[in-house]
Amino acid sequence: MVHDAAVAKHNRLSKRHSGLREKCHTFFKRGILTKISSALVIIFILIAIFCPYLTPYTPYEQSLRNKLKPWSKEHWLGTDNLGRDVLTRVLYGARISIVTGVLSSLWAAVVGAALGLTAGYSRGFLGSFLMRLTDAHLSIPPLILVMVLAPIFGRTILGISIVIGISAIPSYVRMVYGQVLSLRENDYVTAASVIGQSNFKILLKHLLPNCIPVVIVMFTSNVSTAITIEANLAYIGIGIRPPTPAWGVMISEGYNYLVSYPHLAIAPGIMLMLLIISLNVVGDGIRDVIDPRLRGKL
Amino acid sequence: MGERILEVRNLCTSFFTHEGEVKAVNDVSFHIDEQEIVAFVGESGCGKTVTQLSLLQIVPAPPGKITGGEVFFKGRDLLQHKPNSPEMRSVRGAGIAMIFQEPMTSLNPVFTVGHQLTDIIMLHRKVGHKEAWEMGIEALRSVEIPEPEVRMRNYPFELSGGMRQRVMIAMAVYCNPDIIIADEPTTALDVTTQAQVLELLVSLVKQHRKSLIIVTHNLGVVTRYVDRIYVMYAGRIIESGSTEEIMTKPRHPYTIGLLNSVPKIEKERSEKLIPIKGAPPWLIDMDPRCTFLPRCSYACEVCETKEFPKLRRLGESDHFIACHRDIAGSITGSTTGRLDSAGRHDLGGEAHG
Amino acid sequence: MAETVRENPLLKVEQLKMYFPLTKGLLSKTYSWVKAVDGISFEIYPNETFGLVGESGCGKSTTGKCAIRVLQPTEGRVVYKGRDIAGLSKSMLKPYRRELQLIFQDPYGSLNPRQSVFSILKEAVVLDRERHTAVEANERVDELLTLVGLDPDMKSRYPHEMSGGQRQRLGIARALACNPKLVVCDEPVSALDVSIQAQIVNLFRELQAKLGLTYLFIAHDLAVVRHMADRIAIMYLGKIVEVIDSDHIFREALHPYTVALLSALPTTDYYQERKRSRIILEGEVPSPVNKPAGCAFHPRCKYATETCRQVSPGLRNVGRNHCVACHNVAV
């Protein structure tokens, strides 16, 4: 408070040229953890894309003769109870996790933002109806909701993504709704309506672009949550079906051999942990770059 | 005037941003005597506030840094002490107190006015809680707040803007400082409240025989109360002198421009205002020449070639300007010491004080 | 100016009221009203500048926004070109919408930070009834920028790359893009630095002469309003207390509040300022939720009588386009 004037001035000065380069600068300035995490996220994405070329096996290839082998030259992480190569399955798991995470968050973001915009701009009956619906939705614990919906939409990658997405929609709706409520008080919105712009165009041209930073920030933090939920579902056996190499499935299967063959559960567990931590750190970084004021809100 | 209480020499404060060094305060020297009222006048971003923050070493750091200079307060150089040293802390409040522009954010919203007032009194006056409370009531009464006993138990949001600024003044005065710095003390207030608060501040300062620094962008505010004026532009003092000199015979083109930009109520309204062209300069990688050069309508060859002019004394007077030229400025529409025939109301009427 | 029969007013506001409900509880029950504007009337004639002065919270901005139907007034008539537009729906308002423009106080908040200068102006230009080709629109944008004293090369800039004065010019250009008849200027210079203020004030006057605009000029700074306006209305707590030609305000103001405002106004004239005595008003502006009975100004007025405490004074003409709402002023 003492420094208000000077800080405001500094902000004004530094805001003058805010390009991509400056954004990268702020992002990596956050420290070594951000750098490592960004590297990890990139590695995971590369693994997800190129996993077929990284191993000579497929994740479904069984060989009961080679079951539960320790690590060797042929199988770096050994094999599981059906003789499948653990490393291969772990690598393919990255693909499933990332695809479900991104897909579910993406569709939740699109639907949530659209509903939030509509609710925020129309206010009136439609607005309050949508918001009460959202409140009702939020009162159901996401895991229970997902457990109910999962069988309906099918236990495939697409089905699970839709289900997880549905559980994430309300948080987008609320966030965008709040954003629109504050944005529409801006003078430039009044100005647009005074020059005769239609409500729909105002929504599209003035409100939506200013909501996008918030949606992006939410999206990045949402991907890791979605991955966690996906793994949870797979672990308790209502998510993606075995033999698909989802990490949750592998942890659950490996759990039976935790004492004698701990790597079966630990290898996917570590991967899951690394991916989620690095996604969170990167998400925080992106948030700081896009809108530092959101710190602590998301 | 009494003894020199504060003397600042060659003060420099910069903000280090990734675009470069912003020289917010650039080689500023000034002084203030006991019981003197001086004003720092300038537009936003000219460094007038940062100058005051630098005195107390409360410039936000990073990115801010005091890069040079001396601040002699009662003969001691304050810049020898670290910002968080006990010496500096004892200067803040008890030696030099500051009143800020926005009275809402300067008071903590979760504590009552009384709580905050007694805290400060106990800190500086070494008295018990009960006495401090009594002194708090007395302080509020001295700033003409009605029902001070009730107001002590109010939270800041329950008071109006003018009232909150009075509380800030009470806090500042009751620390018994030698100098009070008021940073745009009335800018956030309405015109009629502005007049109340200013009159009050000045009368309290006079009554307690303190020195006062008013920082403002409003030339009208300073005319009435201030002994001396420093005009700042782009981080430098470009003109200083007694209020009478500056307001009636300004010599720097910027000061002349400022005075001509203000609409005057006594004047014919058909006349056009004479604005200063352009906008203030960007404070990174500044031109070594005169900072006002691009906006100056008096600029000549000397200004184009020479470096920024040093502040120089005009004759024997206390009037200093930083300008290569010496132009006898004309300001529009000022009376020349005579009274206009008074209107129906005593606007130009009886002489004051 | 003598009492003359003037031409028809461009805008006529009659008994305008704007109340905002204060609600509480789950069902948003209204328990009280903020009477922001409480029954005011005025006319604005073509090509004149009508000033509206008052302290914050007196309802001057709300009045301005109601006058051009940015807000829908609770009660009263707003007659523009002979038609009452106070209750018109958005589609019914369409023929008038672009003729009634607004210029904002905050040069930062009034421009979409994600739109370039060109995009801001083009949006306003192409909404015109006649369709524009891309080239025409482009030319019009250049023309507008030049008109407000900006360099057409600035088109690709974003608002955050401009100074406050430039942003305000851009806001003016956007309003002009609609070919307005009446422009409400809501504190258009109070956020700007002194040297920039004068530039913008001069720009307003140039544009008026060039384009034949009519202004409703709202500000808290009496000196600026007096410089801009032909007639000034002084507002206090949602009511107009005095309307006066601005050439006469300095010597002939009658209402005690106007007089106090004039006296509180800081001036830069050294000798005058040091000599004059100020009228310091006691107390503060009451809240518009709980207005005092009778004349709203009576708690702060040193001439207040019993009548002032009970009866709210109406605006009465005292000659020469001069109206005052005060019991103590003899007609």
At C217-243, the pLDDT tens digits run: 999 888 889 999 999 999 999 999 999
Every domain of chain C and the residues it spans = 11-99+220-324
How far apart, in Å, are the Cα atoms of C37 and each of A107, A250, C17, C73, C286?
47, 69, 5, 9, 14
User: Taking residues B102-106, what's their average pLDDT?
Assistant: 71
Give the residue numbers spanning the domain of B19.
Answer: 4-226
* Chain B CA closest to residue C266: B220
pLDDT in tens, B293-314: 888 888 888 888 888 888 888 8
- Residue in B58, B63, B26, B31 with CA at minimum distance from that of residue B42: B26
Residue contact B352–C163, C-beta within 8 A: no
For B222, the enclosing helix (H) or strand (E) is: helix B219-225
Residue C163: per-residue pLDDT:
85
Are C63 and C37 spatial neighbours (Cβ–Cβ below 8 Å)?
yes
Asked if the C-beta of A19 comes within 8 angstroms of chain C's C-beta atoms, the answer is: no
Based on the fold, state whether residues B220 and B257 are members of the same structural domain: no
| ipTM for the predicted complex | 0.84
CB < 8 Å from B in window 129-188 of A: none
Residue B46 domain-assigned (yes or no): yes
Is the pLDDT at A6 greater than 90, yes or no?
no
Beta pairing class for B320-321 and C83-84: unpaired
CA distances from B332 to A132, B127, B249 (A): 64, 55, 11
Q: How many A/B residue pairs have CB atoms within 8 Å?
A: 54
The domain total for chain B is: 2
Q: Which one of 3.40.462.10, 3.40.140.10, 3.40.50.300, 3.40.50.720 gives the CATH number of domain C11-99+220-324?
A: 3.40.50.300
The CATH number linked to B182 is: 3.40.50.300
**Cis omega (within 30 of 0) on the bond before A243?**
yes
Work out the end-to-end distance of chain C between its first and last CA atoms, rounded to an integer number of angstroms: 18
Of A42, A126, A114, A89, the closest CA to residue A243 belongs to A89
Residue C52 has pLDDT above 50, yes or no: yes
One domain for residues B178 and B312: no
- For residue B269, pLDDT over 80 is answered with no
Q: What pLDDT score was predicted for residue C331? A: 64
Kindly list the strands in the beta sheet with B64-73, ordered across the sheet, starting from the edge strand earlier in the chain: B20-33, B4-17, B64-73, B76-77
In this structure, are B62 and B198 located in the same domain? yes
CB contact under 8 A, B53 and A2: yes
My answer on whether B26 and B170 are in the same domain is yes
| Residue C27 confidence (pLDDT) | 67
- CB distance A90 to A268 below 8 Å: yes
- Beta strand pairing status for C29-44 and C11-24? antiparallel
Average confidence (pLDDT) over B218-235: 88
Region A22-54+62-294: CATH code: 1.10.3720.10
Name the closest residue on chain C to residue A205, using Cα atoms.
C115
Give me the DSSP letters along B278-301.
S-PPPSBS--SS-TTGGG-SS--H
Percent of chain A with pLDDT over 90: 22
Q: Tell me, what's the pLDDT at B157? A: 85
Long-range own/partner contacts, residues A183-187 (CB < 8 A, 24 or more apart): A183/A207, A183/A210, A183/A211, A184/A120, A184/A121, A186/C109, A186/C110, A186/C112, A187/C104, A187/C106, A187/C109, A187/C110
Q: In terms of domains, do B57 and B104 share one? A: yes
pLDDT on residue A240: 84
Q: Do B59 and A3 touch (CB under 8 A)?
A: yes
Position with higher pLDDT, C6 vs A51 = A51
Q: From A17, which residue of chain C is nearest by alpha-carbon distance?
A: C161
Q: Residue C244's pLDDT band (boundaries 50, 70, 90)?
A: very high
Cis preceding-peptide flag for A141 (omega within 30 of 0):
no
Q: Compute the nearest-CA separation of C130 from chain B (Å).
A: 36
In a domain, B310, yes or no: yes
Answer whether B128 touches C (CB < 8 Å).
no
Task: Tell me which residue of B2, B1, B38, B30 sits closest to B242, measured CA to CA.
Answer: B38
Residue range C123-148, pLDDT digits in tens: 998 887 666 788 888 899 999 999 99
- List chains touching B (3+ CB pairs under 8 A): A, C
pLDDT digits (tens, 9 = 90+) for B325-349: 877 655 554 444 333 333 333 333 3
Kindly list the residues from chain B whose CB atom is less than 8 angstroms away from the CB atom of residue A2: 53, 58, 98, 100
Cβ separation of B60 and A17 shorter than 8 Å?
Answer: no
Report whether B303 contacts B293 (CB < 8 A): yes
B255 in the same domain as B155: no
Task: Give kind and range of the element (H or E) at residue A265.
Answer: helix A263-290
Lowest mean pLDDT among A198-202, C242-246, C264-268: C264-268
Please provide the DSSP assignment of B143-163 as one string.
Answer: TT-SSHHHHHTS-GGGS-HHH
The helix (H) or strand (E) run that includes residue C103 is strand C100-103
Closest approach of C107 to chain B, Cα-based (Å)? 15
Asked whether residue B178 falls in the same domain as residue B103, the answer is yes
At residue A96, the 3 state secondary structure works out as helix
- Domain-located, residue B43: yes
